[in-house]
Structure 1
Amino acid sequence: MPAFAAIPKQEGLRVSVARALREAIVSGEMEPGTVYSAPSLGQRFGISATPVREALLDLLGEGLVSAVPNKGFRVAEVSEQDLDEITDLRLLVEPPAARRATASIPRRDVPALRELAREIAGRASAGDLIAYHRGDRRFHLRLAGYAGNQRLVDLISRLCDQTRLAVLAPFVERGALAAAAAQHLDLVDLIEAGDGAAAEALMRRHLTHP
């Protein structure tokens, strides 16, 4: 069984379990194509099956799992077509969002964004794909947040989760992960310079692979 993160006590159980399961799916701890039952996962968490089932239903709505009658929930697999379609959607929303965000980011927030970009570069150098994916997701969501549209942030969050680690495969195969990581720092430089048009263009290149 996957080594799920501890459930934060301050959160509602359903929300906390959904978050832990989502991270396990995104990281690959819960394997694509494998069926998991609410009772077995509940035993792993040390809780009843009810909040686990409720959390899995939330993930069902996000497209991360599918229901298997009388058995449980199968972790969704990610095909090449899935990745292409998700990339198409991200290209529609993230480059223009990066341009809008560039005009809205306070200068005092730039150092924190730069530090996150450096962290991503460090994860790439260490070959830590799970940590890289988490940092990359945080960066993109934080940047999108400055565009002032929470629904946009929610959409990008779901698209990032649906790609999971599979999106990194082309980078790793071509030895391009470090170059992809460096683009986050380049984006911060453009944001600091206030060049929204260049930030939009770089985001487009970043999403279609270096």
Structure 2
Amino acid sequence: MNSYAVPPTRREAVVRQLREEIISGELPPGTLIKDAEIAARFGVSITPVREAIAQLSVEGLIDIAPNRTRHVTKVTQKNALELIDVMQVLACAGFEWGMDNLTETHLETMRQRQREFVEGIRSGNMVAATAAGADFSTVVILASGNRELQSMVDLVVARTTRILAQTAESDLWQIWIEGHDGVLAALEGGDTEGALRRYRQIYADYRAKVATLMFGA
């Protein structure tokens, strides 16, 4: 059984572990999800497993067929690009709303998350890299004071992360590394408009790269 930190409830523990395995690619798209096998592997009853699967279905990470069989969601070109578009709209709105509220403490946190992001990629720890990369934007979005928006962003990020988390060598990562560096440089120079333009450009570049690299479009 894989080791994992147990959150307040068994359901949350199973959600966290399954989500991590799906995002990291340990459970590839199309993998059949069986309640009994997961319950035995995690040492829990069937009930929290079923509740966790229902939650991950809402997040779009698990598909539940009419016959009730469950599989890890397959990424198609259409849903991948649509998810990127939605993430761009939500994240850029939060970024724009939060920029003027950033303090030096916020910027230092962003610098630290960027260092963790790069280190995670270099060490091949895709889960850590993904979390740090998402937190980079979360700092700004939460500075807007709109926690409901952050909740929506979190849901979309959970579904799109599998596109990013291919391998440490993927060209997709470099778009975010360079983009974050550019955003930080602009913010540190007091150029909030430039920071927003650079942040938006990350998503445009990422979408184009996903379309060509993963789908040959």
What's the TM-score once normalised by structure 1's chain length?
0.85
CA deviation profile, 1:32-73 (whole Å, cap 9, x unmatched)? 111111111000001111111111111111111122466642
User: CA contact under 8 A between 1:187 and 1:202: conserved in structure 2?
Assistant: yes
Aligned to 1:21: 18
User: CA contact under 8 A between 1:94 and 1:144: conserved in structure 2?
Assistant: yes
Query: Is the counterpart of residue 134 in structure 1 residue 131 in structure 2?
Result: yes
Query: Is the counterpart of residue 151 in structure 1 residue 148 in structure 2?
Result: yes
User: CA contact under 8 A between 1:91 and 1:207: conserved in structure 2?
Assistant: yes
Aligned to 1:188: 184
CA deviation profile, 1:1-57 (whole Å, cap 9, x unmatched)? xx644141x511112211111111111111211111111100000111111111111
Q: CA deviation at 1:187?
A: 1.6
User: CA contact under 8 A between 2:32 and 2:71: conserved in structure 1?
Assistant: yes
Q: Distance in 2 between matches of 1:198 and 1:83?
A: 27
Which of 193, 197, 201 does residue 197 from structure 1 map onto? 193
Q: CA deviation at 1:93?
A: 2.3
Q: Which moved more, 1:39-48 or 1:163-172?
A: 163-172
Q: Distance in 2 between matches of 1:170 and 1:91?
A: 22
CA 1:47–1:128 in 2, change beyond 3 Å: closer, same or farther? closer
Q: Which amino acid aligns with 2:50?
A: R
CA 1:176–1:84 in 2, change beyond 3 Å: closer, same or farther? closer
Query: Is the counterpart of residue 45 in structure 1 residue 15 in structure 2?
Result: no
User: CA contact under 8 A between 1:133 and 1:165: conserved in structure 2?
Assistant: no
> Aligned runs of 1:110-125 on 2, under 5 Å?
110-125=107-122
Q: Which amino acid aligns with 1:54?
A: E
Q: Distance in 2 between matches of 1:170 and 1:40?
A: 27
Q: Which amino acid aligns with 1:143?
A: V
Q: Which amino acid aligns with 2:162?
A: L
Aligned to 1:6: 4
Where does structure 1 lack aligned partners over 5 or more consecutive residues? none
Q: Distance in 2 between matches of 1:111 and 1:135?
A: 13
Q: Distance in 2 between matches of 1:23 and 1:100?
A: 30
Q: CA deviation at 1:127?
A: 4.8
Match of 1:44, SS?
A: helix
Q: Distance in 2 between matches of 1:37 and 1:143?
A: 39
Q: Distance in 2 between matches of 1:192 and 1:35?
A: 47
Q: Which amino acid aligns with 2:110?
A: L
Q: Which amino acid aligns with 1:75?
A: V
User: CA contact under 8 A between 2:62 and 2:73: conserved in structure 1?
Assistant: yes
Q: Which amino acid aligns with 1:26?
A: I
CA 1:65–1:166 in 2, change beyond 3 Å: closer, same or farther? same
> Aligned residues: percent identity?
24
Q: CA deviation at 1:138?
A: 2.1
User: CA contact under 8 A between 2:61 and 2:73: conserved in structure 1?
Assistant: yes
CA 1:115–1:7 in 2, change beyond 3 Å: closer, same or farther? closer
What's the TM-score once normalised by structure 2's chain length?
0.83
> Aligned runs of 1:30-69 on 2, under 5 Å?
30-68=27-65
> Aligned runs of 1:141-180 on 2, under 5 Å?
141-167=138-164, 175=171, 177-180=173-176
